[in-house]
Structure 1
Amino acid sequence: MLKFNLFPFEKIRSGQAEFMNDVAAAIENRKILLSHAPTGIGKTVSALVPAVEYALKNDKIVFFLTSKQSQHKIVIETLKKMSNISDSKIKVVDLISKQAMCPREIAAEHPALFSDFCRLDQKTGRCKYFINNNNQFKEKINSEILHVEEFKKLCSNEWVCPHKCALELISTANVVVCDYNYLFTDIYDNFSDKIGKSLSDFIVIIDEAHNLSNRLVDYLSGELNVDILDGARKEAQKIDRKDLSQIIKKLIGFFESQPKNKEVNVLLGFLIDKLNNILKESLNPIGFDDFFEELKKAADEVFEQKVAEEYSKLNFLKTFLEGWKTNSPCSRIFSFVDSPKLSYKLLDPSSLSNTVLSKVHSAILMSGTFSPPEMYADVLGISNERAIFKIYPSYFPQENRFVAVTKNLTSLYSYRSKDMFYAIAEKITNISKIIIEKTGQNIAVFFPSYLFLNEVQQYIDDKLKSKLIVELRHMRKTDKENLYNQLKFFPGKILFGVIAGSLSEGFDYENNLLKCVIVVGLPLNPPDLFRKNFQEYYCKKFGKRKGILYSNTYPAINKAVQAGGRAIRSETDRAIIVLMDYRYIFPEYMQCLPPEWNARSSDKIEDLCEKFFDKNNSYNKEN
C-alpha cells in the first residue's frame, strides 16, 4: 500500500486502501477511473487524499464536482482535517450557484428574475457588491478553508460579491468544490480565464457520477409554447416594440397552423427557416442574428421598466433560440396535443462531456450505483485507452441486508388494472404491518410515477392510512424535509414517494431510519417520441443490444437501486429491500443489480420479513 500523508483519520476502512491506491495510480498515469463504490467505502476522503497530494506536488488543481450542497459540507470538513496535518496550506474555494451566493434580498424574493437583474446591474455598475474590489479582504479570506455559507457571510459583511470573489480566488486554489455545470457547460467559459491553468492541469473528481449524463441532457433542453410566446408579445408591446410584437404574433400563428393531435420530429430549419421568412417580410427586414440582438436589448428593457410579471418571456425566447441552434445532436419535436409547443433535448451527452474529459489531466468518476461502468464510459465519450473500470465490493455485513423480488406483481403497462393495483396495495399493507409490529419503525415505498402511486394508495388498508405520509407532485423542498422529519421524530410511518425523486435519491436516511424499502415496479421510461428517438440514436451509435441496454434497461435499474439503497446507509443498518416486480428476476435485469444484493424471488415475502426481524433481536421495539 502507498503511504498517504494527508489521510486525516487513524484507521483506514476496509476497501479504502485499495480505492486510494487506484485513485493515485489513475492520476499518476493520466487515466480516468470509473468506479462503482458502494456506500461505506469512504469515497470522499479516499478520492481527495491522493488527488490533493498529487496536485500540491505537481502544481495541479482539483475540481470536486457534486450536485448536492450537503456533500459540499462533507468535502469541506474533510479538507479542513487534511489541511490540519499538511505541511503546506491547502487553499480551497467552495462554489455554488451565483443566485444562492448573492447577498441581495431580491435573489431570494424573485429567483426567476435573478439572472436578468444581476446581468443588468453588473453592466450598469448598480450592484455595490460587484463593483467593490477589496483585494486586502480577498487575501485575508483566502487564508482559511470556509464553507460557502461562511464565505458568503464574510463577503457580505465587507460589501463584496461572494460569487465574483470566489471565482477570482480560483487562480490560487488547490481545490475547487462546485457543481457539474461549472466545468461541463458554458459557465466554464465565463471564468476559465481567471483560473490561470488549462484543462490539462485539472484533476476532476465527479461524485454521484451516474447523474452526470442526465444533467447534461437537462442542460441542453428547452420547450417553447404559445403561452410563452404570447407573454413575449405582450412584453414587447409594453415597451413599445411593435416590430418585435408583430414578428412574435406571426410566429404564434405559425405554431397554431400546424396539424392538431400530433407529435412529430422536426429539423433545425423548422423554426429557423420560418423565422427568417417572417423577418424578411417584416416592415423593417432584418436577419436572424440582428433579431437575436434586438431580443436581448428588449429583454433588458423589460427588466429596466419592470414590466415582467415573473420573468422576462422575451429573455426566455432568446434563451430558447440560443439553445435551439446548437450543433450537438438533439431530438427536436413539435407537439400539438393540448396546445402547440416546440422542444429540443440533447441526445448525446458526450458532445458536452468529452470536450472536458478528453483534455483533463485525470478524472475520478465515482458512485454507489455506477454499474456497469463501461456503459458510462461509452455514454460520456471516454476512450478505452484512458478508462479504468473498477467495481468495489460492499463492506457492509451481508446478513444486515435482505433483498427479495415478489412474484406475480408488476408495473408493466399491459397488466395495469384495478386488480393489479389492489394486489400491490395488499402486499404493501401486509409487509408494512409486519415491519411496524416487529420494529415500530418506518417503511418507504417508491413508485414509478405519481399516477401509479395514487392508484395504489386508494386500496391501502384503512387501518394503515393514518400512518401514511405521501410525497405530492410539485412539493417544495421544505415540505419534503417535513416528511423526512416525521419519519425521524414520529416513527412507525409509511412513506409513499416516487422513484428518481429527491426522497428516493437525495435524502440520506441516517441511523437506520428505514427498516424496509419497497420499490414498486420497474421504472422504465414512458415510450414517448423522445424516448424512441433516444433509443434509435443509441442503437445506431452503439449497436442494437447496447443501444437498448444504455437507453432503457440500465437507467431503469440504477434508479431502482438508488431507491432501494436508501435502506442501508451504514455498516450497522439492517433492513429489507423488496423489489415489487417479477421482471427483476429476469437475467437482463438481475445482472444489473449490485452483486452484494443477492436478490431472490419469493411469493412469501411476508414470511421472510417475519423471520428476518425475529432473527435480528436488535430490531425489537424496546431497542
Structure 2
Amino acid sequence: MQINEIRISVRNLVEFVLRSGDLDSRFMGRSRALEGTKAHQKIQKEYKNKFSKEKQILLEDFEQNRLIRKEYYAELALKYEKEYRNFLFIIEGRADGVIIEGDDITIDEIKTVSRPLETVDENYNVIHWAQAKVYAYIYALQNNLENIDVQLTYYNINDDESKRLKKSFSTSRLNEFFIDLLEKYYFWASFIRDWKIKRTASIKNTEFPFDNYRKGQRKLAVAVYGTIKEEKNIFVQAPTGIGKTISTLFPAVKAMGENLTNKIFYLTAKTITRGVAEETIKMMKNKGLELKSVTLTAKDKICFNKKSSCNPEECEFARGHFDRVNYAISEILKKENIIDREAIIEYAQKFNICPFEFSLDLALLADCVICDYNYAFDPRVYLRRFFDNDENYVLLVDEAHNLVDRAREMFSADIYKKRFLELKKVMKNKEKNIYKALDKINSYMIKLKKLCREDLNSESQEQNNLQEEYYQLMKTNPNTYVQKNNLQDIYPLLRKFVSESEQWLTQNNKMEGHEQLLELYFDVLNFIRISEFYNDAYVTYIENQDDDIKLKLFCLDPSLLLKESIKKSKASIFFSATLTPIDYFKDMLGGNEEDYIMRLESPFSIEKREILIADRISTKYKYREKSYSVIVEYIKCAINCKKGNYMVFFPSYKYMMDVYNEFEKKYPNINALIQDSSMAEEERELFLKEFKEENDNTMVAFAVLGGVFSEGIDLKNDRLIGAIIISVGLPQICLERDIIMHYFNKNEKKGFKYAYMYPGMNKVLQAAGRVIRTEEDKGIIVLIDSRFSESEYRNLFPKEWNSNKNIKKVNDIENNLNNFWGKY
C-alpha cells in the first residue's frame, strides 16, 4: 500500500463522517444483524423471480418492440479509486441490489427495522441514504450514466412488510456529495498518511529489542516473516522460553514496514497473555518503534454502568456519544501509542463516551489490535467492520491449543425448556402474543423430552435409523437423545417468539420481566444464528436434566468454519508451547495441506530440570480412592528435598479436594493452598502473590489441570521450583466427549485420541511448562500415573523430556531429587 493510499469501505467512510447523536444498541442491533441476511435474501429473491417471469412473458409476446432489458444484480461488488488532495482513496463495498429496467437504473439499499413502517420516512436515517448514494455514484461513473435512482427498502422483521423510498440524482450532484464526504474525511486521511510515514520509518530503524536471539528465536521470526510474505499459514510448536510473543510480533511489524500487511491482530484466550503482548510492544517502543496498538476489553468488563445498558435513557455515556467520540479519537491518537484498557477508560471518562464502542472505533485506526479470539472467529460477536471486508490483515494466534475447544463453544448453542416455562408465567398477564409463543416452545420441548428415555427399542423407522448410529452412545448416556440432523420445526416457533418480543421490549423497558425476556431473547437469537452454520460436523442432542430439558446444536469439528474465518486474513500464525501432536492441531484449526508446520526445540538446558515418572500408581477413576494416601506421600517426598514453592495439579476438583484434605490431616504444619472453583480475578492475584522468591518455608499449592493456574502464568526464578502432575489429564467422561469420540471414529480418525487423550496431555504439558521459565530457572517435574509409561502417551512427550527417570517406590523420589538439588 502506498503511504498516500487510503483504503476504506463505503460503510465505514459514511458512518465515520456523518454519525451523530446517541448510542442506542439495546436489543435491536443483534436482531437486525441476525435477520438482516435473511431479509436481504428474501427481497433479492423476489426481484429475481419477478424479473424472470416478466422477461419470459415479453419473450413470448409477438410484439418484439415491447421487449426491454430487465436485470437484477444482488450483492454487486463495487470499487472506486479517486485521487483527491494528494491522496488515492480506494472506496469499496457491496450494493445490496442493482435494478435495471430499460434505461432506468436503481441502486437498492436494504435495511431491516422493528418499528412500524409508517414511522419510517425519507428523514429516518441520513446514513442509509448516504451509503446508497455512494454506491450509486460509483456505479454511475463506471457505467457512464448521467442520472441514477437511489432506493431504500425498509423491511419490518415483525410483520414481514416492506416500504420503499426512492429518489433520483444526477451524477454531478452525487459527485458533489461524494467530494464533500472526502473533504470531511480529509483530516483523518491526513492523520493516517502522516502517521504511516512516521510508523514506516520507525519500523525500518527498529532493531530486535534484545542483544541476542535465543535458541530457535531467529528461526521462528524468519518463518513468520516468510509466511506473511507468501500469504500462507503456519502452525508452530515453540516450547516455553523461546519468546513466542516477540518472535511473532517483531517479524509481523517488520512485514508491516514493507507494506505486506495493513493491520496485525494479536489474538489470545486469556487476559494475562494480552498483557504480555502489550509489554512486548512497549519493549519495541523503547527501541524506537512508533506503532499504535489497541487492546479490546470485553464490554461487561469495561462498561461504566453495572448493567451495560447502551441506551441514552439509562446511560449518560451513550447520550450524545457520537457527537463527542471523534474528538476523543483525535486526542488519544495524538497523545498515545499503546492504548490499553486504562488509557481507553481515562479518555472515555474525559469525553463522556462509551469506552467499549470507543475502543472498537480506535481499532479501525490502529496498527495492531490485541484482543480475544472471539473478535476474529465467533460468528455472534466478530468484528464485521474488519472481517467482512477484503483486507491485508495478519492473525497472530497465541496459545493456539486453546482455540479447538473455544471454537467448539463459538459454533455451538443451546436453549433450556425451564427458562421458557418461567418466562411464560411472567408474561401470562402482560402480553398474550409472547405468552402464546413461549407456550408453543415449551410444549415442543416437552415432546422432545419423550425422546430421552432409557428404552431405545422403538419400532419407528426414524428411531431405528438413529439406533444404528447412536444406539450405543445413548445407551451409555441415559436420558439423552442424539441425531445428526437439525430440528427444523423448532425455528418457526423461535422466530415467532423473537418477532413478538421485539415491540414489547421496545415499549416496556421498565416493566417486570423485561430483563428476563431480553436475556432469553438474545439466547434465542444466538441459537438461530448458530443454526445457519449447521453442517455435517454438527449433531443435535437433547438431554433430560432432572427438572429441565436441554437442546443443543453441538459443533464437533470446527475446522471448516475456522477455515472460512482464516481465509479472510492474508496470513495466520498459530503458535503454542503445546501443539502436540501438531498434525492434530493443524487438522482441527482449519489448516490446509499447503500450510507450513514448525517444531522448535527448547532453548533451556535439560540439566536444570529433573523429570520423574511414578508409574506404579493408577489414577483412573475407579482406583482414585485407593491412591490418596500414596499420592500424599509422593508429594511430601518431592517437596521435602528443597524448600520452596510447588504446585500439584489434579484432573478434577473432587480428586484435588480429597487429596488436599488427607494431606492437611497428615502434614498440618506445611503451608498448603488450594484453588477454589469460583475464584474472582482479585482472589487469583492473591493466590499467585503467595509464590514469593527465596521462600524460607515450603509452600505447596493444589490446583486443577486445565485451570487458570495451569497455563498462562509466569512464575520465574524461585517463585516456582516444582510441579507434581497427577494423571494424564483426560477430560471427564461425558456425553459431549463421547459424541466427539463417536464422530471421529466414524470418520476414520482417532476418536479416543481426539476426544480425550490429546486434550488431556495438552493440559499436562501446559502445567509442566510452569516450572522452567528462564535460562536461570531450575526445577522438578513429577508425573504420577501408570499411563505415563505407555507408548501412546510417551510419544506425546516433548523431545527434551527423553531424559526422564522411572520411580519404583516413594523413597526413590527423595534419592533422585537429593542428587539433583545437590548440584545447585
Normalising by structure 2, what TM-score? Answer: 0.66
SS, match of residue 690 in structure 2: helix
Q: Rg larger in 1 or in 2?
A: 2
Aligned position for 2:708: 502
The 5-angstrom pairing of residues 583-622 of structure 1 reads 583-598=787-802, 599-604=804-809, 606-617=811-822
Partner of 1:55: 256
Conservation of the 8 A alpha-carbon contact between 1:299 and 1:315: no
Mapped partners of 1:431, 1:462: distance in 2:
15
Which structure exhibits the higher relative contact order, with contacts defined as CA atoms closer than 8 Å and separated by 6 or more residues? 1
Structure 2 residue 526 is the aligned partner of structure 1 residue 319: yes
Q: Deviations over 1:142-183 (max 9, x none)?
A: 233222222221222121333223322333322111111111
Q: Which moved more, 1:480-489 or 1:519-528?
A: 480-489
Task: Give the Å deviation of 1:301.
Answer: 5.5
Match of 1:430 in 2: 633
Q: Report the equivalent of 2:122.
A: none
Relative to structure 1, the CA distance from residue 452 to residue 73 in structure 2 (aligned partners, 3 Å threshold; closer, same or farther) is closer
Question: Normalized per residue, which structure has more strand?
Answer: 2
Q: In the alignment, which residue of structure 2 is the partner of 1:397? A: 605
Q: 1:343 aligns to what?
A: 552
| Structure 2 residue runs without a partner (length 5+) | 1-203, 454-477
1:371 counterpart SS class: coil
CA contact (8 A) 1:298 1:314 kept: no
- The 1:417–1:27 alpha-carbon spacing in structure 2 relative to 1, beyond 3 Å, is closer
Residue number in structure 1 paired with 2:350: 157
Q: Deviations over 1:461-506 (max 9, x none)?
A: 6242453322233333333333323343875222222111112124
Q: Please, which of 235, 239, 246 is the counterpart of residue 436 of structure 2?
A: 246
Q: Is the CA contact 2:317–2:352 (under 8 Å) kept in the aligned structure 1?
A: no
Q: Residue 126 of structure 1: CA displacement?
A: 7.6
Once the two structures are TM-superposed, the CA of residue 55 in structure 1 deviates from its matched residue by 1.3
Which residue of structure 1 aligns with residue 212 of structure 2? 11
Tell me, in whole angstroms, the C-alpha distance in 1 between the residues paired with 2:733 and 2:658: 20
Contact 1:524 1:553 in 2 (8 A): yes
1:204 aligns with 2:395: yes
Letter aligned with residue 327 of structure 1: Y
| Partner SS state of residue 544, structure 1 | coil
RMSD: 3.0
CA distance in 1, matches of 2:510, 2:717: 51
Report deviation, 1:606: 4.0
For 1:198, give the aligned amino acid: D
Q: State the secondary structure of the residue aligned to 2:541.
A: strand
> Following superposition of structure 1 onto structure 2, how do residues 79-478 of structure 1 map, counting pairs within 5 Å?
79-86=281-288, 89-102=290-303, 104-106=304-306, 110=307, 114=308, 117-118=309-310, 120-121=311-312, 127-128=318-319, 130-143=321-334, 144-146=336-338, 147-186=340-379, 190-192=383-385, 198-199=390-391, 201-237=392-428, 240-257=430-447, 258-259=449-450, 262-266=479-483, 269-270=486-487, 272-274=488-490, 276=492, 289-299=495-505, 303-305=509-511, 307=513, 312-324=519-531, 326-328=533-535, 329-339=537-547, 340-385=549-594, 387-413=595-621, 415-416=622-623, 418-419=625-626, 421-422=627-628, 425-427=629-631, 429-460=632-663, 462-465=665-668, 467-478=671-682
Question: Alpha-carbon deviation of 1:507?
Answer: 2.7
Cross-structure match for 1:567: 771
Asked if the contact 2:644–2:718 (Cα under 8 Å) also holds between the matched residues in 1, the reply is no
CA contact (8 A) 2:672 2:699 kept: yes
Which residue number corresponds to residue 72 of structure 1? 274
Contact 1:6 1:53 in 2 (8 A): no
Q: Deviations over 1:296-355 (max 9, x none)?
A: 444555644364577733433443344345424323211114232222321121133111
* Structure 1 counterpart SS, 2:542: strand
- Cα 1:433/1:602, change in 2 over 3 Å: closer
Equivalent residues of 1:16, 1:46 under 8 A apart: yes
Structure 1 residues 126 and 454: alpha-carbon distance in aligned structure 2, compared to 1, 3 A threshold: closer
Query: Residue in 1 aligned with 2:226?
Result: 25
1:517 match: secondary structure:
strand
Where do residues 484-523 of structure 1 align in structure 2 (5 Å cutoff)? 484-488=688-692, 491-523=697-729
Aligned match of 1:42: 243
Q: Letter of the 1:448 partner, please give it.
A: P
- Taking the aligned partners of 1:166 and 1:526, their CA distance within structure 2 comes to 39
Identical counterparts, % of pairs = 26
| Cα distance per residue 1:69-107 (max 9 Å; x no partner) | 2222322232233245457x32222222223232x232x
The answer to whether the Cα contact below 8 Å between 1:34 and 1:389 also exists between their aligned partners in 2 is yes
Partners in 2 of 1:7 and 1:128 — Cα distance?
Answer: 45
| Letter in structure 2 aligned against 1:316 | D
Amino acid aligned to 1:611: N
Letter in 2 for 1:128: R
Structure 1 stretches of 5 or more lacking a match?
280-287
Shift of the 319–27 alpha-carbon distance from structure 1 to 2, 3 Å rule, reads closer
In the alignment, is the contact (CA less than 8 A) between 1:132 and 1:161 conserved in 2?
A: no
Spell out structure 1 runs of 4+ moving beyond 6 A.
122-126
The match for 2:739 is 533
Instruction: Give the Å deviation of 1:122.
Output: 9.5
Q: Distance in 2 between matches of 1:342 and 1:48?
A: 42
